[in-house]
Amino acid sequence: MKRTRPARLSLLLALLVVAGCARPPAAVQPKADPVTLKYMHMGVASDGRDRNRYVMQAFPNLVEERYPDIRIKTEMLPEDAYTKSLLMQLSAGEGPDFFEWWPMRQLEELAGAGYLQDLTGMDILQAFSPEALRGFTVDGRVYGLPKGFSMMGAWYNKDLLQRHGYREWPGDWDSFLELCETLKREGITPIVMPGKDWWFLQFGLYPLAGSVIYPEEPDFDQQLLTGNATFADSKWRDVLHMFKLLYDRGYIAPGSLETGAAQAAAWFNEGRAAIVFGGNWDYDSLTVSEGSDSEPGLGSDSDSDPVAPAGSASSAAAFERGFMPLPGNAPGKPLYLSVGPAGGTVISKNTRNLPEVLDALAYQFEAESPLRGEFRRQYRAFPMSPGEDLGIAEFAGYADLMRSGRFVAFSNQAWPVGVAEAMCAGFQDWLAGEGDADAILAAMDRELLRAR
């Protein structure tokens, strides 16, 4: 069962930069009144229905209430279509006034192409801690406004674990395997994993890599980029085998490659599986109670999975949830968390409405504004502002561990585009009975070589 690999963004970007050189931005036109700002955001539902109330409703409506002369027109697209459409527009000197983008390596590519406004020194940056801004900084210049920090880990059913003798979350890999074996032996599905879409596999792999690779090789990703390391000669082989072990032992519910985000969320919320891997972005889909208007879907905007069982995140069973790291560390070795800068908002260099864009975004990050409250409710990101407390009980234990300072960014944030896709698509093939860890590592090295 071969999986189609997504087109490589870096190649597309390179072609568009060349094409864009032949067509300068159009001349600045007089502004109309009111000003309409174009905003792009990835993640529209696959069935065409809006599943992001904040982006489509709260943000434009509350900005208009605050600034009657500003209108915001939002466009949402699935991730692949979003990236291609956006880059085509930017290369032509057009596109939205502002849009959502990813930090670190992918931000560097857009900043290097000259597509982003340099925000260095602007007053709006005072709303963020230096740590939060780091993911949107290139060569000392700031090009974006972060949502905060995102964390990967395991959502789990606390009540179910306690009934089977586990009052504390396992602190190392051996203990985690023991927990899964106990649950399986007692007729409980330990883990449900949506493997239908490749990107969900990252939620199991990066947390394991955090404790297996980076404690001894903190500069591993930099060594990859300089040609001083390869995936084939690294501990990524161990990480891939550790994750595959969960499937081989039957700890992950069968049919993973046909399981979508909504189905996995429903299984967990109905108490049919004890654990699901994900992140803080899954808060609404995995904690909502009966009658909630929050949108279902594990780390996704789609709830159109045709094989999802009856019920959804809005019919969640009443049990206590927890969220803790997936422990990849050996007994007695330190546990490292998988925590990275969240995506954020960047402003196009082509915008003719920079003051209005800055007004709208500053209102979003104003401490006591109603828009700020809606923003925090939607994204559940770790705080970006100095001294801010997230205030969510399910994340308290994870936050305590973060204070140890032992965490590493998501691996793909330092990799060229295409490497993570090769890893996850290759893992899907492995689950389907084709290929193995060596084939995956070779594919990752090929993508890395193309990007150098």
DSSP per residue over 251-319, as a string?
-BPS-GGG--HHHHHHHHHTTSEEEEEEEGGGHHHHH--TT--PPP-TTSS----TTPPS--GGG--S-
d(CA 280, CA 286): 10
For the chain of 452 residues, list the mean pLDDT of each consecutive stretch of 10. 43 43 42 86 58 86 96 89 92 95 90 96 89 90 90 96 96 98 97 93 97 95 94 98 98 96 94 95 75 41 31 60 97 94 92 96 90 82 59 86 86 89 97 97 96 76
Give φ, ψ of 252 to 5 degrees. Answer: -100, 135
d(CA 336, CA 148): 19
Helix, strand, or coil (residue 13): helix
| Residue-level pLDDT at 200 | 94
pTM reported for the whole predicted model:
0.76
Q: Domain residues of the chain, as ranges?
A: 31-148+342-384, 152-339+410-451
Helix, strand, or coil (residue 142): strand
| Residue-level pLDDT at 131 | 78
Mark residue 187 as left, alpha or beta (left: phi above 0; alpha: psi -120 to 50; beta: remaining): left
What the block records as the tokens of 376 is: 């925090």
> Does the structural domain 152-339+410-451 have CATH classification 3.20.20.70?
no
**Exposed/middle/buried for 355, CB within 10 Å: 0-12, 13-18, 19+?**
exposed
DSSP codes, 321-376:
EEEE----SPTTSPP-EEEEEPPEEEEBTT-S-HHHHHHHHHHHT-TT-HHHHHHH
Q: Where do the DSSP E strands lie in 133-218? A: 137-138, 141-142, 145-146, 149-157, 189-191
Contact criterion met (CB below 8 Å) for 388 and 67? no
Task: Single out the residue of 386, 371, 451 nearest to residue 419, CA to CA.
Answer: 451
269 contact partners, CB below 8 Å, separation of at least 6: 286, 288, 311, 312, 313, 315, 316, 317
Q: Which amino acid is at 223?
A: Q
Radius of gyration of the chain (CA): 22
Give φ, ψ of 154 to 5 degrees. Answer: -125, 120
> Does the structural domain 31-148+342-384 have CATH classification 3.40.190.10?
yes
What the block records as the tokens of 61 is: 């409506």
Q: Parallel, antiparallel, or unpaired: how do β-strands 98-101 and 137-138 relate?
A: unpaired
Which residue, chain included where needed, has tokens 């969320």? Answer: 265
What the block records as the tokens of 186 is: 């007692």
Task: Tell me, yes or no, if the two domains 31-148+342-384 and 152-339+410-451 fold the same way.
Answer: yes
